[in-house]
Amino acid sequence: MKKRSNVTAAILSLVLAGGMLIPAAGASAEQTVQATVPLENLALHKTYTFETPYPRDSHFGPKEDAYPDDTGKQLTDGVFGGLSFSEKAYVGKLWQGYRTFKLDLGEPVTIQDIKVSTLQDLPSGIFFPDEISYSISENGSAWQHLGKVKSALPTTEKGPVKQTIAKSGVNTVARYVYMDIPVESWLFVDEIEVMGTRDKSGNKLKPNKAPKPDRGYPRPGSKQTGGIRDEVLIYTGEWQYQPSDWVSFKKEDFKPYVSYVDQNMKRKDFMFDGFLFLPLPTLLDGTNYNSAGKPTNKGHFEKFLDRVFRDDYELGALNEAVKEAKGDMPGRKYEAKVVIAIPYPRTDQSDFGDVDGDGISENLNVKEVGEAEATKNRLKVTKWYVDEVYKRWNAKNYSDLKLVSFYWYNEYIGHQLSAMEHEVVKQTGDYVRSKGATFQWIPYYFARGWNDWKENGFDAAAMQPNYYFHSDATVDRMSTIAQATYDNGMGVEIELSDAALTDEKLRNRYYAYLDAGKEYKFMNKSYNVFYQQVKTLWKAAQSKTPIEREVYDRTYQYMKGKYKVTSPQEFQSLELEEQETE
């Protein structure tokens, strides 16, 4: 093939950029290229805003102040950083969902390219944004959405490494630039450029609306949630302390979860209808069911199922507890629904065990067998595991339980662990649905993949606010999570630990979840998921100390959509009213 001339290559590049001029009569192509106005950085030294769409978080906000934007022009000053995030050129942002970048170019101009220069350094917790959403406007009110551009470099690239994520070939007249940039752990950006010309030779802007996720909370009792209205997390696992069987549930332990009981443990009503069984993360041999510690193998997955399917504990005990409750309260409609966690198939596991009977142990290690082979083997594991659950479930033939859903145990989408992580999750979800169940997830606070939960194959998701565990977080955290979850079709996990029974500050932090649920309507409009420290609500139900027992009573009121109280006196008054009604 004949080699192109430099001039022809230049013309081709202009065509691809949408910026080629049609030659005037009698003018040569070379003359036209020479006459073309070169692109310049129209954003240079312009001011902008680079903010979270939510209130600044009092826990994470101060941490990112170590990498500030001192001038308000640091990202448009023309200064690029190297491979160290500590260089002055970088602005660092931490968690809090994503950032909106808004820039006024001062006047309508022709925009060709919008570029974001960013850093990845995985050991430091600095990730490239998975994708950036771009929009432009001529008047600041009518916007043209230009689409999203994904990271071109692998999400698993250890780094430190840089790349520019750019929307190219825009060739449109506009004055304002807007971007949504996800912040999943740390984001470091050193420069944002808008390349174009100071004229109006580009195309006329065509306003359109950016696609938005389904808004609204997951409806309680809906098909999406597997019919669950109120779900409680039930942990089981090895315990190095005494009593050694503490992280397990007998029939008596389930009583105040299946039923709402009074202080004499007499049943008054049904309570939780969803029970999520999941393993305590760390095992005594140092392995871990999520992405920390040493990787688990087939024997560990089976150990979890061995515990869950015991007759006198966990599922067997729950079945008997439900049967007993139905006998005590005949005529009341109730169905106990079960969700079982899928432990994380680790990308650093080289010897998981043979799950397909070919005599070869599955190698899930991405670094050893590559992305494609590791993905295939990880999917073998998740499908084997789902089949194993159904095999054991059918063998038990529980009389009063219904298996409705599976839960993805890892609390973030590990793009940094595998470039095909989303495929493992999505295809696992497809397999679960082929069996007639749903697939659910509970990511931690703005965890990686939180707003892509649906695209990743989950039917329902609820976010952990982690407000309870961050002592310097203010109650604004709850309004932020309520807004973010509602805007992205998610529910909210409600969190408490045993300390809430004895520590007034933590008890009030728990009540802040309930207050937010009432104020932002996820109390009634969403299925609710409750995290507890093993048996916190069991302890509260049995307590003879009023402020401890109150934790259990308020939880019940919340679940029934009757949560109105702000003091123990008001609660007692409400309780008396209900007794008189009965």
Three-state SS annotation for 39-62: CEECCCCCCEEEECCCCCCCCCHH
Please indicate whether residue 100 or residue 28 has the higher confidence score (pLDDT).
Answer: 100
Half-sphere exposure of 488 (CA within 13 A, CB side): 24
pTM: 0.89
List the beta bridge partners of residue 529: 231, 493
Average pLDDT score, the chain: 91
What pLDDT score does 565 carry? 58
Q: 74-125, pLDDT tens digit by residue?
A: 999 999 999 999 999 999 999 999 999 999 999 999 999 999 999 999 999 9
Between CA 191 and CA 167 the distance in angstroms is 15
pLDDT at 568 over 70: no
Q: Which two tokens stand for residue 300?
A: 């560990």
Residue 334: what residue type? Answer: Y
Residue 449, class by beta-carbon neighbours within 10 Å (0-12 exposed, 13-18 middle, 19+ buried)? buried
CB 75 within 8 A of CB 191: yes
Residue 182: what residue type? Answer: P
In the chain, what is the straight-line distance between the N-terminal and C-terminal CA atoms, in Å? Answer: 91
Percent of the chain having pLDDT more than 70? 91
Between CA 552 and CA 556 the distance in angstroms is 6
User: φ and ψ at 16, to 5 degrees?
Assistant: -65, -30
541: left (phi over 0), alpha (psi -120 to 50) or beta: alpha
- 40-197: CATH topology is Jelly Rolls (2.60.120)
Query: Quick one: DSSP state of residue 282?
Result: B
What pLDDT score does 254 carry? 98
In this structure, what is the dihedral angle of CA atoms 382, 383, 386, 387, given to the nearest 10 degrees? -150
Lowest mean pLDDT segment, chosen from 59-63, 129-133, 370-374, 566-570: 566-570
Half-sphere exposure of 230 (CA within 13 A, CB side): 19
Question: Considering only CA atoms, which of 75, 107, 100 is closest in space to residue 88?
Answer: 75
Between CA 438 and CA 428 the distance in angstroms is 11
Residue 315: what residue type? Answer: L
Q: How many CB atoms are located within 10 Å of the residue 340 CB? A: 25
What pLDDT score does 26 carry? 37
CB 326 within 8 A of CB 255: no
Q: Which residue has the tokens 């397909």?
A: 356
- Average pLDDT of the segment spanning 392-419: 97
Structural domain boundaries in the chain: 40-197, 223-567
Q: 443-465, pLDDT tens digit by residue?
A: 999 999 999 999 999 999 999 99
- Average pLDDT of the segment spanning 396-407: 98
pLDDT at 513 over 50: yes
User: φ and ψ at 543, to 5 degrees?
Assistant: -70, 140
CA distances from 164 to 73, 104, 267 (A): 19, 21, 62
Between CA 135 and CA 114 the distance in angstroms is 10
What pLDDT score does 241 carry? 80
Query: Quick one: DSSP state of residue 37?
Result: P
Q: Do domains 40-197 and 223-567 have the same CATH topology?
A: no
pLDDT band for position 210 (50/70/90)?
confident
The number of residues in the chain equals 582
Between CA 127 and CA 500 the distance in angstroms is 35
Q: 165-194, pLDDT tens digit by residue?
A: 999 999 999 999 999 999 999 999 999 999
What pLDDT score does 572 carry? 53
Question: Considering only CA atoms, which of 55, 61, 72 is closest in space to residue 95?
Answer: 61
Q: Where are the beta strands (DSSP E) in 171-247?
A: 172-182, 186-197, 230-236
User: φ and ψ at 192, to 5 degrees?
Assistant: -125, 125
Q: What contacts 223, CB < 8 A, 6 or more positions away? A: 438
Convert 402-434 to b/e letters by CB count within 10 Å (16 or more is b).
Answer: ebbbbbbbbbbbbbbbbbbbbbbbbbbbebbee
Sign of CA dihedral 373, 376, 379, 381: negative
What pLDDT score does 212 carry? 81
140: left (phi over 0), alpha (psi -120 to 50) or beta: left
CA distances from 162 to 118, 167, 394, 516 (A): 6, 17, 52, 41
Q: 114-157, pLDDT tens digit by residue?
A: 999 999 999 999 999 999 999 999 999 999 999 999 999 999 99
Q: Could you tell me which CATH number the domain at 223-567 has?
A: 3.20.20
